[in-house]
Amino acid sequence: MKGNKRTILATTLGALAVALFLGRVCWASGSFFQALYPREFEFPKDHADHPGFQTEWWYYTGNLVSKDHRAFGFQLTFFRVQLKPELFVSGSPWRTNQLYFAHFTVSDFENGKFLMAEKAGRGTMGIGGVLSDSQRVRVFLHGWESVIQGDTHHLRAEGDRFGIELELVSKKPPVLHGKEGLSRKGRGREQASYYYSLTRMKSRGILRLGNNRFEVSGFSWMDHEFSSNTLSKEQAGWDWMGLQLSGDRELMLYVLRHRDGSIDPFSSGTLVKKDGTSVHLSKEAFAIKPLDFWKSKQSRAQYPSGWQVEVFPYSMSLRVVPNLKGQELVTSQSTQVTYWEGSVGVTGTAAGENVSGSGYVELTGYAGGFELGFQED
């Protein structure tokens, strides 16, 4: 029995680690649904889950300020992983084809602290999952949740002596990335995902640190992406940034890195204008240059830490700097994947005018491979 439990756990973690961060199908290739053509998105329906696709995530990040001017960052992410192509399994109520994982962080800039919690569970028996109807979507795992109704998202999560209860209201319609939401990640036809964002969400609520409760407000960003096969063997990882700029503009960029250090030509981005309309940016439209590096004492991985960003068609030159260097997640109790996800500040110019802002940056593939270290008894 002990050996069976370890086998199940190793399979669970291996499926997520490889499928989610490397984007490769772990089971029978070709049987999961694939993102091949542009699709028509329908909301709120598409805020819910998309069974048949192997991996899916709901990604919330934001920068908040308390009434006494203390600044914080937060991340709350829910991941869904489908283990086998079959949509349904029979037998015990505990049997399920869907696994859920969640990561929750708070960055406390004043004290230089990065707080993290994580959860894992089956998509059954009320442990984790997605419940939806024509008006409401609830994504949940072990008491953490995102409840979506209209343009409003209610977030709730609790770690060890820290937590959030936030209301996020989207000020712009969903932004579809790539071609009508089909986001290409490589030359292979199947290397793509369906991907949209809510790029400017007015946020308010309570952030708790120990016995202290802070009334906070600010802006958040939500990414929702689902796919079955995105990255190729030569791709090592990606650098992603979502920036909320003055003038009510937002900028999303991602760079896909090859193992030989080159940049994949399918790297791209999106510029969102004040009125909510968006423009696709090809790899040739922008450049991201690291300005500094930070080495983790925990994982020994070295990450870029500060970037010069140029968006050539809009004469945009931005300096992006972490608000806290140590914002690395080592997810030993859930995905067993190590990555950097953190709050950043932005200064610069666009068409000769000063620009400021804030956002989040994600860096994957810098902490080595995905050897999980599990053995069967």
Q: Residue-wise pLDDT tens for the chain (377 aa)?
A: 333 343 334 434 444 444 444 343 333 344 899 999 999 999 999 999 999 999 999 999 999 999 999 999 999 999 999 999 887 777 777 889 999 999 999 999 999 999 999 999 999 999 999 999 999 999 999 999 999 999 999 999 999 999 999 999 999 999 999 999 999 999 888 899 999 999 999 999 999 999 999 999 999 999 999 999 877 889 999 999 999 999 999 999 999 999 999 999 999 999 999 999 999 999 999 999 999 999 999 999 999 999 999 999 999 999 999 999 999 999 999 988 999 999 999 999 999 999 999 999 999 999 964 332 322 32
The torsion defined by the Cα of 313, 319, 320 and 322, in degrees rounded to 10, comes to: 180
Q: Which residues pair with 357 in a beta bridge?
A: 245, 346
Written out in words, the top-level CATH class of the domain with range 2-363 is: mainly beta
Q: How far is CA 140 from CA 73, 120, 152, 292, 320, in A?
A: 21, 11, 16, 37, 32
- Spatial separation of the C-alpha atoms in residues 113 and 328, rounded to whole Å: 11
Q: Which residues of 344-365 are buried (b: 16+ CB within 10 A; e: fewer)?
A: bbbebebeeeebebbbbbbbbb
**Of the candidates 250, 279, 89, 26, the residue with the CA atom closest to the CA atom of residue 176:** 279
Instruction: Give the other-Cβ count within 10 Å of 4's Cβ.
Output: 10
pLDDT digits (tens, 9 = 90+) for 282-311: 999 999 999 999 999 999 999 999 999 999
What is d(CA 341, CA 330) in angstroms, rounded to the nearest whole number?
11
Q: Which of 288, 164, 148, 133 is nearest to 222 (CA)?
A: 148
The ranges assigned to domains in the chain are 2-363
The residue count of the chain comes to 377
Residue type, 339: Y
Beta bridge partners of 372: none
Given the structure tokens 């020994």, which residue do they identify?
300
Beta-bridge partners for 179: 182
According to DSSP, residue 69 is labeled: -
Alpha-carbon gap, residue 122 to 79, rounded angstroms? 11
Query: What is the Cα–Cα distance from 251 to 318, expressed in whole angstroms?
Result: 11
| Cα 218 to Cα 4: distance, rounded to the nearest angstrom | 47
d(CA 332, CA 195): 27
Measuring CA to CA, which residue among 171, 159, 241 is closest to residue 208?
A: 159
β-pairing, 144-149 with 136-141? antiparallel
Residue indicated by tokens 């450049």: 287
pLDDT digits (tens, 9 = 90+) for 262-284: 999 999 999 999 999 999 999 99
Structure tokens at 315: 């004469």
Q: Calculate Rg over the CA atoms of the chain.
A: 20
269: enclosing H helix or E strand: strand 268-272
Rounded to whole angstroms, the Cα distance separating 132 from 224 reads: 16
